[in-house]
Amino acid sequence: MNWDRRAFVKFAVGAVVGIHASPLVPKLMDDSAIWTQNWNWVPTPEKGALAFANSVNPETGTGVRARLIKGRLQGERLIRIEGDDQHPASRGGVVPADAAAPQNMYYGDFRVQTPLIWDPLSGIHQAATWDQALDLVAGKLAELYKAGKSQTVAAIGADAESVSGEILARFMAAYGSPNLAFMPSAKQTLALAGWAMLGERNLGFDLDHAKYVVSFGTPLLEGFGAPVAVRKAFANWRQDYQRTGTLVQVESRASVTASQADVWLACKPGAESAVALGMCQVMVSQGLYDKGLVDGALGFGETDKGKGFKALLDAQYTPAQVEALSGVPAKKLVETAVAFAKAAKAVAVCGPGNAGEPGRLFDFMAVLALNCLKGNLGKEGGLVVRQPLPLKPLGEALAPVAKPRLDALAGKRLIDGYDPLSLAKAALAGAPYKLGALLVVNCNPAYSGPQASLMAQMIKAAPFVVAVSPYLDETAKMAQVILPAGTWLESWGDSLTPYGSPVGLYGLHRPLVNPYPQAKSAGDAILALAAKLGGPVAQALPLASTEEALKVRASGLGDFDKLSQQSWWAQAKPAYGAPAMKTPSGKLEFFSMGLHNLLTAKASDGAAMDKMLKALGVTASGSAALMPHYEPVATGGHGKLVLAASASLRASAASQTTAPYQIKVLDNTVLSHTKDMVVEINPATAAELHLAEDDRVRVDSAAGGAEARVHLFAGVAPGMIYMPVGLGHFAPANAFTFERGGNYNRVAEATADPLSGTPVWSLTQVAVTKL
């Protein structure tokens, strides 16, 4: 036996072979592979008991089911939002904004977790207790009240119809300020148009049963009303790969809705109502209209007020004239009008604009006129009247505040209303008085406008701003005091029937999880403030909590516990049947006596009325001014191109913040080069401006500007530029959306809708310069 190197080598080889003959190598390799899978690539929630809970997203009207896990260590966590298949409108579907909601809720850095008070010395918001924050706010408000300046406190809320809206309204009325503005919505415009012509404010479109739908200038499939409900209705029209329903989209871009429609009538921007009126004219001239309803209507034939609607149509809206106004070929117009008139269940639809704008009164009246001529009122698949929701008020009606309003249009308005833009304009002008304090509840006007730069200016200039917000968003950043609100998944609140729904729907959301214990429901924050203030304000709001307020409000909807578990209440089916006309004449009115009476109350004679109408921006004269007609869009400003927004279900509604997941699903015709917003320009227009694909440009209007990249898209009308919404956030707390793209609301200039005065911001003149 030689104890030498060779012997050692033999030993070593034996050892190696021995190791490999054992399971050591495969076992360790397998374990190493599994060890690498343990690295925290994807954080996963702790496993635990599974539970489901219903809710309704107030922004989208979708009925959802939340999946909750109760982990042993982490407690109750909401891990997923799915659709509630029992909800009569959304039937189990969700849109990206619904699915992404938990992401925003759990985004700790972006959430307001405790009350925050601005410290001018350090230049940052410092955490405080609720008592400290409320003491500060109540102190300021009490000071103004004692000095007789309660009217200098203004408030902006998101939804006037919601319970928090009602609580805020009672607060302001009891406190003594008339300056309460809510975000404008298309619901107001449809209600006004319905009232003007039918005496009925509560209208909906029965899309589920319609077989021929013409949509005028509204993104029917990309953000109309309750988006999921509309998509479900649309699915009915495409059942089993057959086209059982026809959709005609009238707009100036080959949008998703236009692409999925059966017919796209490409029309010039803002001229959709001219197309509707053209269709009316064709139907009347060919006798294809509901003579029984229409011939006897007020203002159809000649009246003592002037020429009637029929004469107006023949004078100004013949197919040839409409072709000149809108660019839609006369032949196509006639074809569509006849098909619409002959279809069994046809409905014409109007709605919010691409960026959620409220829509224009006369446009909506034109669409209602088309529906009346079709004779689909109260019929299946047509325009239906909804039963109002049997909600109870929170208390005795409060006397209206006798103090003068701040908004610029006060006194000049024909239609009573209060929008944040007119508040901002007056506040910045400092007339008739200066703003003393501003409350912003559950909305983000510095980002979502209307006309965001002006809103931001107002908020910056206001001496004392209180934001009740779940997020450290653009508006909250500028506030002196931020009170933490819960998102809809963590708080009590409600939402009423979404725009255009044919049935009354009530959605209730309740706290499903409590990740930030200091966040309260928005209503609770206002109630707490009222309690601190005491006096008449506390007396007007003797409610312990928003939950209690909801119990009062929804007492007519059945057992509250059941309702809050189910989260929704719905009218069983549309109220079919010819509606009673509640107009002054008791008939359908093409010439609106309602509007006429409002005018005569303010103006003494014909000349004064004309003057008032001109002042309200109405270009039509004579009786046409109070009938459905086409008003050219006042875009104002400078610049050669017309800017509009492109709607998308992937972005969020104007006030809800865009979630990181939603940023990820934007393709590079919306967001490219990681942070650049993409605008769409017609290739011919781009050639004139010497712009090529992917060029960096600056888009400027009188209201503001944004930078973007160019995308050449022949589906955009020449002379137009389309910008996506939901980008351009500038709240640094949200790292995912911060400075990604530009904000459409900053560039869009809001103008007052003729007659109604509602701010609209669909079209803006812009200048595009290459960078």
Q: In the bound complex, what is the minimum distance in angstroms from residue 40's beta carbon to another protein?
A: 11
**Radius of gyration of the chain measured on its C-alpha atoms:** 29
Nearer residue to another protein within complex by CB, 22 or 539: 22
Chain residues in the site for another protein (CB under 8 A): 1-2, 6-8, 10-19, 21-25, 27-28, 30-32, 34-35, 37-38, 42, 44, 47-50, 52, 70, 72
**25 vs 127 by CB, closer to another protein:** 25
Helices 272-285 and 361-374 meet at what angle, rounded to 10? 30
* Complex with another protein: residue 12 or 687, whichever CB lies closer: 12
Helix axes 606-615, 593-602, angle to 10 degrees: 100
Q: CB of 564: closest distance to another protein in angstroms?
A: 20
For residue 64, the minimal CB distance to another protein (Å) is: 16
Q: Looking up tokens 């619409």, which residue turns up?
A: 340
Q: Beta strands of 34-123 (E only): which ranges? A: 48-56, 63-71, 75-83, 116-119
Residue closer to another protein, measured from CB, 10 or 770: 10
Q: In whole angstroms, how close is the CB of 154 to another protein at the nearest point?
A: 47
- Closer residue to another protein, CB minimum distance, 27 or 673: 27
Residue number with CB closer to another protein (11 or 556) = 11
To another protein, the closest distance from the beta carbon of 560 in angstroms equals 24
Taking the CA atoms of 522, 526, 527 and 529 in sequence, report the sign of the dihedral they define: positive
* Closest separation in Å from C-beta 21 to another protein: 5
Q: Residue 125: beta bridge partners?
A: 118
Q: Which candidate, 219, 327, 339, 365, places its Cα nearest to that of 279?
A: 339
Report which secondary-structure segment, H or E, holds 507. strand 505-509
In the numeric block, the tokens 């310069």 are attached to: 769
Tokens in use for 119? 């410290």
330-338 own/partner pairs: CB under 8 Å, 24+ apart: 332/265, 333/265, 333/275, 333/278, 333/279, 333/282, 334/282, 336/214, 336/248, 336/263, 336/265, 336/279, 337/278, 337/279, 337/280, 337/282, 337/283, 337/288, 338/282, 338/283, 338/286, 338/288
**Furthest C-alpha separation in the chain:** 132
Helix H, strand E, coil C: the string for 416-435 is CCCCHHHHHHHHHHCCCCCC
CB atoms within 10 A of CB 311: 15
Distance CA 441, CA 485 (A): 9
For residue 1, the minimal CB distance to another protein (Å) is 4
Residues 6+ apart with CB under 8 A from 36: none
Nearer to another protein, 8 or 131 (CB): 8
* C-beta of 15 vs 147, nearer to another protein: 15
- In the complex with another protein, the residue whose CB is nearer, 35 or 632, is 35
Distances (CA, A) of 136 to 117, 131, 486, 533: 9, 8, 21, 11
Question: CB of 517: closest distance to another protein in angstroms?
Answer: 17
For the bound state, the minimum distance from the C-beta of residue 16 to another protein, rounded and expressed in Å, comes to 7
Beta strands 671-672 and 505-509, pairing class? unpaired
Closest to 641 in 3D by CA, of 705, 694, 729, 695: 705
We find the least distance from the C-beta atom of residue 570 to another protein, in angstroms, to be 24
Least distance between another protein and beta carbon 83 (Å): 15
CB of 14 or CB of 535, closer to another protein: 14
Helix (H) or strand (E) holding 205: strand 203-205
Question: Smallest Cα–Cα separation from 431: which of 444, 419, 422?
Answer: 422
Compute the C-alpha angle 66/69/70, nearest 5°. 135
Minimum distance between the CB of residue 24 and another protein, rounded to whole angstroms? 4
Strand arrangement of the beta sheet that strand 63-71 belongs to: 48-56, 63-71, 75-83
Directed axis angle between helix 593-602 and helix 186-198, to 10°?
A: 100
Could you tell me how far CA 53 lies from the centroid of its own chain? 25
CB of 99 to another protein, least distance (A): 17
Instruction: Using the minimum distance from each CB to another protein, give the nearer residue, 6 or 146.
Output: 6
Q: Toward another protein, which CB reaches closer, 41 or 241?
A: 41
C-beta of 15 vs 714, nearer to another protein: 15
Residue 7 or residue 692: which is nearer to another protein going by CB? 7
Distances (CA, A) of 483 to 108, 251, 583, 676: 15, 42, 45, 33
SS3 270: coil
Report in angstroms how near the CB of residue 125 gets to another protein at its nearest: 35
Residues 6+ apart with CB under 8 A from 724: 645, 646, 648, 651, 666, 670, 671, 677, 678, 741, 744
In terms of CB distance, is 11 or 460 closer to another protein? 11
Nearest approach, Cβ of residue 51 and another protein (Å): 9
Q: Please give the structure tokens belonging to residue 375.
A: 């004779």
Distance of closest approach, residue 27 Cβ to another protein, in angstroms: 6
Alpha helices in 560-592 (DSSP H): 560-566
Output b/e per residue, 124-160; b: 16+ Cβ within 10 A.
ebeebebeebbebbbebbbebbeeebbbbbbbbbbbb
Instruction: Choose between 70 and 698: whose C-beta lies nearer to another protein.
Output: 70
Cβ 49 to another protein, closest distance in Å? 6
**40 vs 122 by CB, closer to another protein:** 40
